[in-house]
Amino acid sequence: MLSMLRTAKIGVVASSVAFVTHQTFCADEALKANLKAEIKKHIINKKANACPMAMRIAWHSAGTFDKSDGSGGTNGGTMRFEPERSDGANNGLHIIHDMLLPIKKKYPQVSYGDLWALAGSVAVEFAGGPTIPFEMGRIDVTDAEVSKGSKNTSANGGRCPVVAIPPNGRLPDASQGAEHLRQVFGRMGFSDREIVALSGGHTLGRCHSVRSGFDGPWTKNILKFNNDYFKNLMFQDWKPRQWSGPIQYSNEDNSLMMLPTDIAIKTDPIFNKIALEYANNQNKFFEDFKLAYAKLMCLGCPSAAIPKEVKNMVDQTGGQKDMSLLFREHVMHGSFERAQQCVGNGANVHEIEVGSARSALHKAAFWNHTHIVPWLLNDCHLDPNLLDYNGDTALHDVARF
Protein backbone atom coordinates (compact mmCIF):
# COMPACT_ATOMS: atom_id res chain seq x y z
CA MET A 1 0.00 0.00 0.00
CA LEU A 2 2.91 2.35 0.69
CA SER A 3 4.12 2.18 -2.90
CA MET A 4 0.60 2.56 -4.17
CA LEU A 5 0.08 5.79 -2.28
CA ARG A 6 3.58 7.10 -3.08
CA THR A 7 2.96 6.74 -6.80
CA ALA A 8 -0.19 8.83 -6.38
CA LYS A 9 2.06 11.95 -6.37
CA ILE A 10 2.11 12.50 -2.64
CA GLY A 11 3.28 16.01 -1.78
CA VAL A 12 1.88 17.63 -4.90
CA VAL A 13 -1.04 19.76 -3.84
CA ALA A 14 -3.91 19.24 -6.21
CA SER A 15 -5.18 22.19 -8.17
CA SER A 16 -8.78 23.31 -8.02
CA VAL A 17 -10.94 20.24 -8.20
CA ALA A 18 -12.62 20.01 -11.56
CA PHE A 19 -13.84 16.50 -10.88
CA VAL A 20 -17.57 16.47 -10.43
CA THR A 21 -19.48 13.68 -8.73
CA HIS A 22 -23.26 13.23 -8.79
CA GLN A 23 -24.96 16.62 -8.73
CA THR A 24 -28.14 16.72 -6.71
CA PHE A 25 -30.84 18.65 -8.52
CA CYS A 26 -32.85 20.63 -6.00
CA ALA A 27 -35.98 22.00 -7.63
CA ASP A 28 -37.58 25.15 -6.27
CA GLU A 29 -41.22 25.40 -5.36
CA ALA A 30 -42.10 27.03 -8.68
CA LEU A 31 -40.77 24.07 -10.62
CA LYS A 32 -42.58 21.62 -8.36
CA ALA A 33 -45.81 23.56 -8.91
CA ASN A 34 -45.28 23.45 -12.68
CA LEU A 35 -44.57 19.73 -12.59
CA LYS A 36 -47.64 19.12 -10.46
CA ALA A 37 -49.82 20.92 -13.01
CA GLU A 38 -48.24 18.97 -15.88
CA ILE A 39 -48.73 15.66 -14.10
CA LYS A 40 -52.39 16.44 -13.45
CA LYS A 41 -52.93 17.34 -17.09
CA HIS A 42 -51.35 14.12 -18.31
CA ILE A 43 -52.92 11.62 -15.90
CA ILE A 44 -56.40 13.14 -15.46
CA ASN A 45 -58.13 14.05 -18.71
CA LYS A 46 -60.98 12.99 -21.00
CA LYS A 47 -59.08 9.85 -21.99
CA ALA A 48 -58.30 8.50 -18.55
CA ASN A 49 -57.84 9.00 -14.84
CA ALA A 50 -54.55 7.30 -14.06
CA CYS A 51 -54.14 8.35 -10.42
CA PRO A 52 -54.13 4.73 -9.20
CA MET A 53 -51.44 3.76 -11.69
CA ALA A 54 -49.37 6.85 -10.86
CA MET A 55 -49.44 5.83 -7.21
CA ARG A 56 -48.52 2.28 -8.22
CA ILE A 57 -45.39 3.22 -10.19
CA ALA A 58 -44.14 5.35 -7.30
CA TRP A 59 -44.91 2.56 -4.81
CA HIS A 60 -43.24 -0.15 -6.88
CA SER A 61 -40.20 2.02 -7.55
CA ALA A 62 -39.82 2.74 -3.83
CA GLY A 63 -40.75 -0.72 -2.54
CA THR A 64 -37.49 -2.31 -3.69
CA PHE A 65 -35.49 -0.54 -0.96
CA ASP A 66 -33.26 -2.61 1.34
CA LYS A 67 -32.01 -0.83 4.43
CA SER A 68 -29.17 -3.34 4.91
CA ASP A 69 -27.18 -1.94 2.00
CA GLY A 70 -29.12 1.15 0.87
CA SER A 71 -29.97 -0.39 -2.51
CA GLY A 72 -33.27 0.01 -4.31
CA GLY A 73 -35.84 2.75 -3.78
CA THR A 74 -36.88 5.68 -5.93
CA ASN A 75 -33.36 7.03 -6.37
CA GLY A 76 -31.84 6.12 -9.72
CA GLY A 77 -35.00 5.53 -11.74
CA THR A 78 -33.85 1.92 -11.95
CA MET A 79 -37.14 0.55 -13.28
CA ARG A 80 -35.82 1.53 -16.72
CA PHE A 81 -33.39 -1.39 -16.54
CA GLU A 82 -33.55 -5.17 -16.35
CA PRO A 83 -34.44 -7.18 -14.39
CA GLU A 84 -36.65 -4.62 -12.63
CA ARG A 85 -38.25 -3.45 -15.86
CA SER A 86 -39.72 -6.88 -16.64
CA ASP A 87 -40.58 -7.86 -13.06
CA GLY A 88 -44.01 -9.44 -13.20
CA ALA A 89 -45.09 -7.22 -10.30
CA ASN A 90 -44.62 -4.24 -12.63
CA ASN A 91 -46.88 -5.52 -15.40
CA GLY A 92 -48.69 -2.67 -17.15
CA LEU A 93 -46.57 0.14 -15.75
CA HIS A 94 -45.21 0.94 -19.21
CA ILE A 95 -48.54 2.75 -19.69
CA ILE A 96 -47.83 5.32 -16.99
CA HIS A 97 -44.21 5.54 -18.17
CA ASP A 98 -45.53 6.65 -21.55
CA MET A 99 -48.09 9.04 -20.03
CA LEU A 100 -45.38 10.84 -18.05
CA LEU A 101 -42.75 10.81 -20.82
CA PRO A 102 -43.84 14.16 -22.38
CA ILE A 103 -43.18 15.81 -19.00
CA LYS A 104 -39.69 14.32 -18.89
CA LYS A 105 -39.04 15.67 -22.39
CA LYS A 106 -40.29 19.12 -21.40
CA TYR A 107 -38.23 19.14 -18.20
CA PRO A 108 -35.14 17.02 -19.07
CA GLN A 109 -33.33 18.23 -15.95
CA VAL A 110 -35.86 16.40 -13.78
CA SER A 111 -34.87 12.80 -13.08
CA TYR A 112 -37.17 9.88 -13.75
CA GLY A 113 -36.82 9.06 -10.08
CA ASP A 114 -38.20 12.45 -9.08
CA LEU A 115 -40.90 12.43 -11.76
CA TRP A 116 -42.29 9.01 -10.85
CA ALA A 117 -42.18 9.63 -7.11
CA LEU A 118 -43.79 13.06 -7.46
CA ALA A 119 -46.51 11.68 -9.75
CA GLY A 120 -47.41 9.05 -7.17
CA SER A 121 -47.43 11.59 -4.37
CA VAL A 122 -49.62 14.19 -6.06
CA ALA A 123 -51.95 11.47 -7.38
CA VAL A 124 -52.96 10.80 -3.76
CA GLU A 125 -53.82 14.47 -3.35
CA PHE A 126 -55.63 14.67 -6.70
CA ALA A 127 -57.83 11.74 -5.59
CA GLY A 128 -58.87 13.50 -2.38
CA GLY A 129 -56.18 12.21 -0.05
CA PRO A 130 -53.64 14.10 2.07
CA THR A 131 -50.88 16.29 0.63
CA ILE A 132 -47.70 14.21 0.72
CA PRO A 133 -44.50 16.02 1.83
CA PHE A 134 -42.07 15.82 -1.07
CA GLU A 135 -38.63 17.08 -2.03
CA MET A 136 -36.73 16.60 -5.24
CA GLY A 137 -33.13 15.50 -5.59
CA ARG A 138 -33.18 11.90 -6.85
CA ILE A 139 -30.42 11.13 -9.35
CA ASP A 140 -30.96 8.86 -12.34
CA VAL A 141 -28.41 6.20 -13.09
CA THR A 142 -27.13 5.91 -16.65
CA ASP A 143 -26.49 2.88 -18.83
CA ALA A 144 -22.76 3.17 -18.11
CA GLU A 145 -23.41 3.06 -14.36
CA VAL A 146 -25.50 -0.07 -14.37
CA SER A 147 -23.55 -3.04 -13.10
CA LYS A 148 -23.43 -6.02 -15.38
CA GLY A 149 -20.93 -7.95 -13.33
CA SER A 150 -17.92 -5.84 -14.34
CA LYS A 151 -15.86 -3.96 -11.80
CA ASN A 152 -14.30 -1.68 -14.41
CA THR A 153 -15.94 1.64 -13.56
CA SER A 154 -13.44 4.11 -15.00
CA ALA A 155 -15.31 4.60 -18.26
CA ASN A 156 -18.32 6.41 -16.85
CA GLY A 157 -17.09 9.96 -16.68
CA GLY A 158 -15.25 9.55 -13.40
CA ARG A 159 -18.37 9.10 -11.31
CA CYS A 160 -17.24 5.57 -10.38
CA PRO A 161 -20.45 3.94 -9.19
CA VAL A 162 -21.36 0.35 -9.80
CA VAL A 163 -25.14 0.25 -9.58
CA ALA A 164 -27.00 -2.91 -8.71
CA ILE A 165 -30.51 -2.99 -10.16
CA PRO A 166 -32.83 -4.41 -7.50
CA PRO A 167 -33.57 -8.08 -8.08
CA ASN A 168 -37.10 -9.30 -8.63
CA GLY A 169 -38.94 -10.49 -5.56
CA ARG A 170 -38.54 -7.48 -3.28
CA LEU A 171 -42.12 -6.24 -3.70
CA PRO A 172 -44.91 -7.70 -1.56
CA ASP A 173 -46.48 -10.96 -2.69
CA ALA A 174 -50.24 -10.50 -2.37
CA SER A 175 -50.79 -14.23 -1.86
CA GLN A 176 -48.89 -14.22 1.45
CA GLY A 177 -49.78 -13.36 5.05
CA ALA A 178 -48.81 -11.15 7.97
CA GLU A 179 -45.34 -12.64 8.44
CA HIS A 180 -44.50 -11.86 4.81
CA LEU A 181 -45.72 -8.28 5.18
CA ARG A 182 -43.50 -7.75 8.21
CA GLN A 183 -40.55 -9.27 6.39
CA VAL A 184 -40.91 -7.11 3.28
CA PHE A 185 -41.75 -3.86 5.03
CA GLY A 186 -39.30 -4.56 7.82
CA ARG A 187 -36.54 -4.79 5.22
CA MET A 188 -37.34 -1.16 4.43
CA GLY A 189 -37.59 -0.09 8.07
CA PHE A 190 -41.36 0.20 8.57
CA SER A 191 -43.31 -0.42 11.77
CA ASP A 192 -46.58 -2.35 12.08
CA ARG A 193 -48.54 0.91 12.07
CA GLU A 194 -46.80 2.07 8.92
CA ILE A 195 -47.45 -1.28 7.24
CA VAL A 196 -51.19 -0.95 7.86
CA ALA A 197 -51.24 2.72 6.83
CA LEU A 198 -49.49 1.97 3.54
CA SER A 199 -51.83 -0.96 2.89
CA GLY A 200 -54.58 1.66 2.89
CA GLY A 201 -53.31 2.70 -0.52
CA HIS A 202 -55.57 -0.07 -1.82
CA THR A 203 -58.40 2.41 -1.47
CA LEU A 204 -57.32 3.58 -4.94
CA GLY A 205 -57.55 1.40 -8.02
CA ARG A 206 -58.37 -2.25 -8.54
CA CYS A 207 -56.74 -5.53 -9.53
CA HIS A 208 -56.59 -6.69 -13.16
CA SER A 209 -56.31 -10.40 -13.88
CA VAL A 210 -54.20 -9.76 -16.98
CA ARG A 211 -51.55 -8.04 -14.84
CA SER A 212 -51.48 -9.43 -11.32
CA GLY A 213 -53.70 -12.48 -11.77
CA PHE A 214 -56.14 -11.06 -9.20
CA ASP A 215 -59.36 -9.36 -10.23
CA GLY A 216 -61.69 -6.73 -8.83
CA PRO A 217 -61.88 -3.52 -6.78
CA TRP A 218 -61.40 -3.00 -3.06
CA THR A 219 -63.93 -0.15 -2.90
CA LYS A 220 -66.99 1.15 -4.74
CA ASN A 221 -65.17 4.29 -5.91
CA ILE A 222 -61.73 3.29 -7.15
CA LEU A 223 -60.75 6.90 -7.94
CA LYS A 224 -61.43 8.33 -4.47
CA PHE A 225 -58.78 8.29 -1.75
CA ASN A 226 -60.50 7.79 1.60
CA ASN A 227 -60.76 5.17 4.36
CA ASP A 228 -63.35 3.01 2.56
CA TYR A 229 -60.77 0.24 2.16
CA PHE A 230 -60.57 -0.13 5.93
CA LYS A 231 -64.34 0.16 6.39
CA ASN A 232 -64.92 -2.58 3.84
CA LEU A 233 -62.17 -4.80 5.20
CA MET A 234 -63.20 -4.52 8.83
CA PHE A 235 -67.00 -4.28 8.64
CA GLN A 236 -67.86 -6.71 5.84
CA ASP A 237 -67.64 -10.48 5.75
CA TRP A 238 -65.15 -12.05 3.35
CA LYS A 239 -65.07 -15.53 1.91
CA PRO A 240 -62.80 -17.24 -0.65
CA ARG A 241 -63.90 -16.51 -4.19
CA GLN A 242 -64.88 -19.54 -6.24
CA TRP A 243 -63.08 -19.04 -9.54
CA SER A 244 -60.18 -20.32 -11.63
CA GLY A 245 -57.72 -17.65 -10.50
CA PRO A 246 -55.50 -17.38 -7.43
CA ILE A 247 -56.95 -17.30 -3.93
CA GLN A 248 -58.70 -14.02 -3.19
CA TYR A 249 -61.75 -13.06 -1.17
CA SER A 250 -65.18 -11.64 -2.04
CA ASN A 251 -67.83 -9.84 -0.02
CA GLU A 252 -71.38 -11.14 0.22
CA ASP A 253 -72.60 -9.76 -3.12
CA ASN A 254 -69.27 -10.44 -4.90
CA SER A 255 -68.92 -6.77 -5.83
CA LEU A 256 -65.64 -6.23 -3.97
CA MET A 257 -62.46 -8.20 -3.36
CA MET A 258 -59.65 -8.52 -0.86
CA LEU A 259 -56.24 -10.13 -1.28
CA PRO A 260 -54.73 -12.63 1.17
CA THR A 261 -52.43 -9.85 2.43
CA ASP A 262 -55.51 -7.69 3.06
CA ILE A 263 -57.19 -10.43 5.05
CA ALA A 264 -53.95 -10.76 7.03
CA ILE A 265 -54.41 -7.13 8.10
CA LYS A 266 -57.80 -8.10 9.53
CA THR A 267 -56.80 -11.37 11.17
CA ASP A 268 -53.45 -10.42 12.70
CA PRO A 269 -54.21 -9.13 16.23
CA ILE A 270 -51.82 -6.16 16.05
CA PHE A 271 -52.69 -5.15 12.49
CA ASN A 272 -56.40 -5.56 13.31
CA LYS A 273 -56.40 -2.89 16.02
CA ILE A 274 -54.70 -0.36 13.75
CA ALA A 275 -56.97 -1.11 10.80
CA LEU A 276 -60.06 -0.72 13.02
CA GLU A 277 -58.74 2.64 14.18
CA TYR A 278 -58.39 3.78 10.57
CA ALA A 279 -61.84 2.45 9.66
CA ASN A 280 -63.33 4.63 12.39
CA ASN A 281 -61.12 7.67 11.93
CA GLN A 282 -60.24 8.83 8.42
CA ASN A 283 -58.26 11.81 9.71
CA LYS A 284 -55.96 9.51 11.64
CA PHE A 285 -55.50 7.32 8.58
CA PHE A 286 -54.63 10.36 6.45
CA GLU A 287 -52.17 11.63 9.05
CA ASP A 288 -50.33 8.32 9.28
CA PHE A 289 -50.47 7.54 5.57
CA LYS A 290 -49.07 10.95 4.67
CA LEU A 291 -45.92 10.43 6.71
CA ALA A 292 -45.47 6.73 5.90
CA TYR A 293 -45.82 7.38 2.17
CA ALA A 294 -43.47 10.36 2.27
CA LYS A 295 -40.95 8.18 4.07
CA LEU A 296 -41.39 5.40 1.50
CA MET A 297 -40.72 7.82 -1.34
CA CYS A 298 -37.34 8.95 0.01
CA LEU A 299 -35.74 5.75 1.30
CA GLY A 300 -32.35 5.29 -0.32
CA CYS A 301 -32.34 8.86 -1.67
CA PRO A 302 -29.83 11.70 -1.27
CA SER A 303 -30.48 13.87 1.76
CA ALA A 304 -31.85 16.68 -0.42
CA ALA A 305 -34.81 14.46 -1.34
CA ILE A 306 -35.85 13.80 2.26
CA PRO A 307 -38.67 16.14 3.42
CA LYS A 308 -38.15 17.75 6.79
CA GLU A 309 -41.42 16.22 8.01
CA VAL A 310 -39.96 12.71 7.85
CA LYS A 311 -36.23 13.28 8.23
CA ASN A 312 -36.19 12.03 11.81
CA MET A 313 -38.41 9.06 10.89
CA VAL A 314 -36.07 8.04 8.11
CA ASP A 315 -32.96 8.38 10.27
CA GLN A 316 -34.55 6.25 13.01
CA THR A 317 -35.02 3.29 10.67
CA GLY A 318 -31.30 2.96 10.10
CA GLY A 319 -32.19 2.47 6.46
CA GLN A 320 -31.46 5.95 5.24
CA LYS A 321 -28.13 6.81 6.67
CA ASP A 322 -26.60 9.53 4.57
CA MET A 323 -25.08 7.68 1.63
CA SER A 324 -21.77 9.53 1.90
CA LEU A 325 -21.44 8.54 5.55
CA LEU A 326 -22.43 4.96 4.77
CA PHE A 327 -19.87 4.91 1.94
CA ARG A 328 -17.05 5.86 4.31
CA GLU A 329 -18.18 3.26 6.84
CA HIS A 330 -18.16 0.47 4.25
CA VAL A 331 -14.72 1.54 3.04
CA MET A 332 -13.47 1.56 6.63
CA HIS A 333 -14.65 -2.04 7.03
CA GLY A 334 -13.27 -3.16 3.67
CA SER A 335 -16.70 -3.87 2.17
CA PHE A 336 -15.98 -3.17 -1.49
CA GLU A 337 -19.34 -4.11 -3.02
CA ARG A 338 -21.36 -2.19 -0.46
CA ALA A 339 -19.17 0.88 -0.93
CA GLN A 340 -19.78 0.70 -4.69
CA GLN A 341 -23.52 0.42 -4.13
CA CYS A 342 -23.47 3.53 -1.93
CA VAL A 343 -21.81 5.51 -4.70
CA GLY A 344 -24.41 4.26 -7.13
CA ASN A 345 -27.06 5.51 -4.71
CA GLY A 346 -25.67 9.04 -4.68
CA ALA A 347 -22.78 9.05 -2.19
CA ASN A 348 -20.30 11.88 -2.58
CA VAL A 349 -16.95 10.07 -2.53
CA HIS A 350 -15.08 13.30 -1.78
CA GLU A 351 -17.05 14.22 1.33
CA ILE A 352 -14.89 14.26 4.44
CA GLU A 353 -15.88 13.30 7.96
CA VAL A 354 -17.06 16.21 10.09
CA GLY A 355 -14.72 16.77 13.03
CA SER A 356 -11.80 14.64 11.83
CA ALA A 357 -11.57 15.92 8.22
CA ARG A 358 -10.75 12.34 7.19
CA SER A 359 -11.72 10.94 3.80
CA ALA A 360 -12.60 7.42 2.76
CA LEU A 361 -9.01 7.02 1.61
CA HIS A 362 -7.75 7.80 5.11
CA LYS A 363 -10.04 5.11 6.48
CA ALA A 364 -9.05 2.45 3.94
CA ALA A 365 -5.35 3.17 4.50
CA PHE A 366 -5.57 3.20 8.28
CA TRP A 367 -7.27 -0.19 8.41
CA ASN A 368 -5.03 -1.68 5.71
CA HIS A 369 -7.75 -2.41 3.15
CA THR A 370 -5.37 -2.64 0.21
CA HIS A 371 -8.01 -4.11 -2.11
CA ILE A 372 -10.04 -0.87 -2.02
CA VAL A 373 -7.26 1.72 -2.28
CA PRO A 374 -6.66 1.36 -6.07
CA TRP A 375 -10.37 1.92 -6.73
CA LEU A 376 -10.45 4.99 -4.49
CA LEU A 377 -7.39 6.46 -6.19
CA ASN A 378 -7.86 5.47 -9.82
CA ASP A 379 -11.62 5.34 -10.28
CA CYS A 380 -13.00 7.64 -7.60
CA HIS A 381 -10.02 10.03 -7.81
CA LEU A 382 -9.74 10.69 -4.10
CA ASP A 383 -7.01 13.17 -3.23
CA PRO A 384 -4.01 11.40 -1.61
CA ASN A 385 -2.70 14.78 -0.42
CA LEU A 386 -5.71 15.60 1.71
CA LEU A 387 -4.75 16.41 5.31
CA ASP A 388 -6.91 15.35 8.23
CA TYR A 389 -7.37 17.14 11.56
CA ASN A 390 -3.88 15.99 12.65
CA GLY A 391 -2.14 17.09 9.46
CA ASP A 392 -1.86 13.50 8.21
CA THR A 393 -2.37 12.16 4.71
CA ALA A 394 -3.45 8.58 4.08
CA LEU A 395 0.22 7.68 3.56
CA HIS A 396 1.08 8.99 7.01
CA ASP A 397 -1.48 6.64 8.52
CA VAL A 398 -0.03 3.63 6.70
CA ALA A 399 3.59 4.53 7.52
CA ARG A 400 2.89 4.59 11.24
CA PHE A 401 1.98 0.94 11.29
Question: Could you list the active site residues?
Answer: 60, 218
Q: How many CB atoms within 10 Å of residue 353?
A: 17
Does residue 358 contact residue 352 with C-beta atoms inside 8 Å? yes
CB-based contact 326:169 (threshold 8 Å) = no
Closest CA to 292 of 181, 198, 183: 198
Query: Burial level of 88, CB count in 10 A (0-12/13-18/19+)?
Result: exposed
Dist CA 196 CA 190 (whole Å): 10
Q: How far is CA 211 from CA 91, 242, 350, 376, in A?
A: 5, 20, 44, 44
Quick one: angle between helices 178-188 and 192-199, nearest 10? 100
The DSSP string of 63-129 is: TT-BTTTTB-SSTT-GGGSTTTTT-GGGTTTHHHHHHHHHHHHHSTTS-HHHHHHHHHHHHHHHTT-
* Nearest partner of 140 among 111, 106, 115, judged by Cα: 111
Beta-bridged to residue 49, according to DSSP, are 44
Amino acid identity at 395: L
Q: How many angstroms separate the CA atoms of 94 and 278, rounded?
A: 33
Task: Report the amino acid identity of residue 98.
Answer: D
What is the Cα–Cα distance from 74 to 65, expressed in whole angstroms? 8
Distance CA 117, CA 135 (A): 10
